[in-house]
Structure 1
Amino acid sequence: MLSHIARRFFEAMIILLGITIVTYMLLYLFPADPVRQIAGRSATPETVNNIRQQLGLDLPVYEQYWRYLTSLVQGDFGRSYIQKTEVAELIWSRLPASLLLMVAAISVEVLLGLIMGVISAVKRNSTTDNALMVVSFVGVSAPQFVVGILLLYVFAVQLGWFPIGGYGTASHLVLPALTLGLLGSGWYARMMRSSMLNVLEQDFIRTARAKGVSKFRVILRHAVPNALLPIIAMIGIDIGIFMSGIVVVESVFGWPGIGQLAWQAIQRVDIPIIMGVTLVAACSIVIGNFLADIIALFVDPRIKLK
Structure 2
Amino acid sequence: MAVYLLRRLFQAVLILVGVSFVTFALLYLLPADPVRQIAGRTASPQMVENIRTQLGLDQPFLVQYGRYFMGLLQGDLGRSYLQRSEVAELIGARLPASLLLMAAAIGTELVIGVSMGLIAAVRRGSGTDQALMVASFVGVSAPQFVVGLLLLYVFAYQLGWFPIGGYGTWRHLVLPALTLGIIGAGWYSRMMRSSMIDVLRQDYIRTARAKGLGGRTILIRHALPNAILPVIAMIGIDIGLFMSGIVVVEGVFGWPGIGQLAWQAIQRVDLPIIMGVTLVSAVAIVLGNLLADLLAPFVDPRIKLR
The gaps in structure 1 that reach 5 residues or longer are none
8 A contact 1:244–1:277 mirrored in 2 = no
- Change beyond 3 A, Cα 1:305–1:22: closer
In the TM superposition, residue 39 of structure 1 has moved relative to its aligned partner by: 5.0
Could you tell me which residue of structure 1 aligns to residue 189 of structure 2?
189
8 A contact 1:250–1:259 mirrored in 2 = yes
Could you tell me which residue of structure 2 aligns to residue 251 of structure 1?
251
In the TM superposition, residue 222 of structure 1 has moved relative to its aligned partner by: 0.9
Task: Give me the whole-angstrom Cα distance separating, in 2, the residues matched to 1:171 and 1:72.
Answer: 38
Q: Does 1:78 align with 2:75?
A: no
Could you tell me which residue of structure 2 aligns to residue 218 of structure 1?
218
- In the TM superposition, 1:66-145 aligns within 5 A as 66-145=66-145
- In the TM superposition, 1:229-268 aligns within 5 A as 229-244=229-244, 246-268=246-268
8 A contact 2:165–2:254 mirrored in 1 = yes
Task: Give 1:123's aligned amino acid.
Answer: R
In the TM superposition, residue 247 of structure 1 has moved relative to its aligned partner by: 2.4
Task: Give me the whole-angstrom Cα distance separating, in 2, the residues matched to 1:58 and 1:252.
Answer: 37
Give the stretch that moved more between structures: 132-141 or 31-40. Answer: 31-40
Task: Give 1:283's aligned amino acid.
Answer: V
Could you tell me which residue of structure 2 aligns to residue 227 of structure 1?
227
In the TM superposition, residue 158 of structure 1 has moved relative to its aligned partner by: 2.0
8 A contact 1:245–1:257 mirrored in 2 = no
Task: Give 1:233's aligned amino acid.
Answer: A
Q: What is the identity percentage for the equivalent residue pairs of Structure 1 and Structure 2? A: 71
Task: Give me the whole-angstrom Cα distance separating, in 1, the residues matched to 2:250 and 2:203.
Answer: 47
Task: Give 1:169's aligned amino acid.
Answer: T
In the TM superposition, residue 20 of structure 1 has moved relative to its aligned partner by: 1.5
8 A contact 1:99–1:243 mirrored in 2 = no
Task: Give me the whole-angstrom Cα distance separating, in 2, the residues matched to 1:253 and 1:59.
Answer: 40
- Change beyond 3 A, Cα 1:5–1:108: same
Task: Give me the whole-angstrom Cα distance separating, in 2, the residues matched to 1:36 and 1:182.
Answer: 40
Task: Give 1:108's aligned amino acid.
Answer: T
Task: Give me the whole-angstrom Cα distance separating, in 1, the residues matched to 2:103 and 2:48.
Answer: 45
Give the stretch that moved more between structures: 232-241 or 1-10. Answer: 1-10
8 A contact 1:120–1:193 mirrored in 2 = yes
Task: Give me the whole-angstrom Cα distance separating, in 1, the residues matched to 2:101 and 2:164.
Answer: 16
Task: Give me the whole-angstrom Cα distance separating, in 2, the residues matched to 1:143 and 1:246.
Answer: 12
8 A contact 2:144–2:245 mirrored in 1 = no
8 A contact 2:34–2:269 mirrored in 1 = no
Give the stretch that moved more between structures: 280-289 or 295-304. Answer: 295-304
Task: Give 1:226's aligned amino acid.
Answer: N
Q: What RMSD over aligned residues (CA atoms) do the two structures have, in Å?
A: 2.2
In the TM superposition, residue 218 of structure 1 has moved relative to its aligned partner by: 0.9
8 A contact 1:105–1:180 mirrored in 2 = yes
SS at match of 1:301: coil
Give the stretch that moved more between structures: 207-216 or 103-112. Answer: 207-216
- Change beyond 3 A, Cα 1:248–1:53: closer
Task: Give me the whole-angstrom Cα distance separating, in 2, the residues matched to 1:245 and 1:280.
Answer: 15
In the TM superposition, residue 79 of structure 1 has moved relative to its aligned partner by: 1.6
- Change beyond 3 A, Cα 1:202–1:268: same
Task: Give me the whole-angstrom Cα distance separating, in 1, the residues matched to 2:13 and 2:302.
Answer: 26
Task: Give me the whole-angstrom Cα distance separating, in 1, the residues matched to 2:30 and 2:82.
Answer: 15
Task: Give 1:209's aligned amino acid.
Answer: R
SS at match of 1:160: coil
- Change beyond 3 A, Cα 1:227–1:272: same
Task: Give me the whole-angstrom Cα distance separating, in 2, the residues matched to 1:285 and 1:240.
Answer: 5
Could you tell me which residue of structure 2 aligns to residue 173 of structure 1?
173
Normalising by structure 2, what TM-score? 0.91
In the TM superposition, residue 242 of structure 1 has moved relative to its aligned partner by: 2.3
Task: Give me the whole-angstrom Cα distance separating, in 2, the residues matched to 1:203 and 1:2.
Answer: 35
Q: Does 1:291 align with 2:291?
A: yes
8 A contact 2:37–2:269 mirrored in 1 = no
Could you tell me which residue of structure 2 aligns to residue 303 of structure 1?
303
Could you tell me which residue of structure 1 aligns to residue 19 of structure 2?
19
SS at match of 1:32: coil
SS at match of 1:303: coil
Task: Give 1:208's aligned amino acid.
Answer: A
Task: Give me the whole-angstrom Cα distance separating, in 2, the residues matched to 1:290 and 1:283.
Answer: 11
Task: Give me the whole-angstrom Cα distance separating, in 2, the residues matched to 1:203 and 1:157.
Answer: 53
Aligned length, in residue pairs: 305
SS at match of 1:302: coil
Task: Give me the whole-angstrom Cα distance separating, in 2, the residues matched to 1:151 and 1:305.
Answer: 42
Task: Give 2:25's aligned amino acid.
Answer: M
- Change beyond 3 A, Cα 1:88–1:204: same
Task: Give 1:136's aligned amino acid.
Answer: S
